[in-house]
Structure 1
Amino acid sequence: MTDEISDDAFALNLFGEPVYARAGKRGRPRFERTDENARKVSMLLACGWSNDRIAKVIVDPRTGLAISVPTLKRYFRAELIERDAARDRLEARRLMRIWEQADKGNVGAERVLAQLLDRQDRMEIERKLSERPKQHAADKLGKKQIDKLRARDAEADLMAELENEAGQYAARPN
């Protein structure tokens, strides 16, 4: 180690080593939200990605590093709140673009629009079917309950048969 201290150092630490002046603030700079990143988060939410997966893809333009999940939640709260509606909005925009092309007379767009409308109709039917109340487990009979019902029915059948036979023997002359 040389005894010379450069002009950049402004003091010596406890070990006699030069301490250099810091250029700017300490630590990583704050994340800077961009419109591009906001659109990317909305699109990935529409695709059903998790917060952890999205955070790994969003890159801070100043540092070039991926952001953490708390940073994602802090800067993209509005997009995350709309998670459930993101897919519907994406589909709505897609339908509007195709409808505009079909309205202008584009035959290919008309064919694609017809396919998408059929798909939307199927999805609506599935949604309505899923809303129907399901038969609960309490309504279903267990094995022991079924056996009791069969035994009761068997007893009633046996009594009817015995009465029938008794009636036949009583009607016969000895």
Structure 2
Amino acid sequence: MADNFDLFGDPIPANHGGKGRPPHIPTTENRNRVNMLLACGWSNERIAGAMRITEPTLRKHYFSELKSREVARDRLNAVLLMKGFEGVQKGNATAIRLFLHLVERNDLMQFGQSLRPARVEKSEKSSKPAKLGKKEEALLAAQQPDVGTPMGELMARRQQSMN
């Protein structure tokens, strides 16, 4: 193994500066990075680009991590829950708050709900009222004066007295 590291913390191979491109050396840190990026939903192309390697090199050295793509998010959530629980056991108030948030999010996920609003179907979209133009909006705004100003308050009183 190399004792020297580049600016990104990657080990510099022994044949650096020799003929050909130096081989990629998978490290524990790089394996963790691949797992984290998989959990965030990154494609192989993006992961390889971020690690400055080719896709075949990614598949060659990190095939076991790539196999677990479907469970990577669950594994990340499990680690976050454990870290939060460790903070709860220490009595950290911020950790308690964050842990409760993670548990609520987990409960929503368990019941098949999501934090994002549900997609609106086309039939629901068409039932929305048509968007008003500038002139129609101005007429409606004129009918409803701003009572926070003296002039708006006077106009509101006059409208009430006319009705």
Which TM-score applies when normalising by structure 2? Answer: 0.55
- SS at 1:100's partner residue? helix
Provide the secondary structure at the position in 2 that maps to 1:28: coil
Please give the alpha-carbon distance, in whole angstroms, between the structure 2 residues aligned to 1:41 and 1:88: 15
**Matched residue, 1:123:** 109
What is the match of residue 32 of structure 2? 39
Question: Structure 2 counterpart of 1:37, which letter?
Answer: N
For residues 113 and 25 of structure 1, what CA distance do their matches in structure 2 show?
51
Residue identity over aligned pairs, in percent, reads 46
Q: CA deviation at 1:25?
A: 6.8
Equivalent residue pairs, number: 97
Higher strand residue share:
1
Q: Which residue of 1 aligns with 2:9?
A: none
User: How far off its partner does 1:126 sit?
Assistant: 1.1
Distance 1:108 1:29, change over 3 A: closer
Pairing 1:110–2:96 present: yes
Two-structure CA RMSD over aligned residues (Å): 1.7
Matched, 1:95 2:110: no
Matched, 1:75 2:39: no
Q: Paired residue for 2:72?
A: 86
> What does residue 49 of structure 1 align with?
42
- Where 2:25 maps in the other structure, the secondary structure is coil
The 3-state SS of whatever aligns with 1:113 is: helix
The one-letter code of the counterpart of 1:125 is F
Q: Relative contact order (alpha carbons < 8 A, sep ≥ 6): 1 or 2 greater?
A: 1
Question: Residue type matched to 2:47 in 1?
Answer: I
Question: Secondary structure of 1:126's match?
Answer: coil
1:32 Cα offset (Å): 1.6
In structure 2, runs of 5+ residues without a counterpart are 1-16, 114-163
Long gaps (5+) in structure 1: 1-23, 59-65, 128-174
Inter-partner Cα distance in structure 1 for 2:30 and 2:75: 18
Rg larger in structure: 1
The TM-score normalised by the length of structure 1 is 0.52
Moved runs in structure 1, 4+ residues, more than 6 A?
Answer: none
**Counterpart residue identity of residue 117, structure 1:** V
Supply the AA of the counterpart residue of 1:54.
I
The change in CA–CA distance for 1:104 and 1:26 in structure 2 (over 3 A counts) is closer
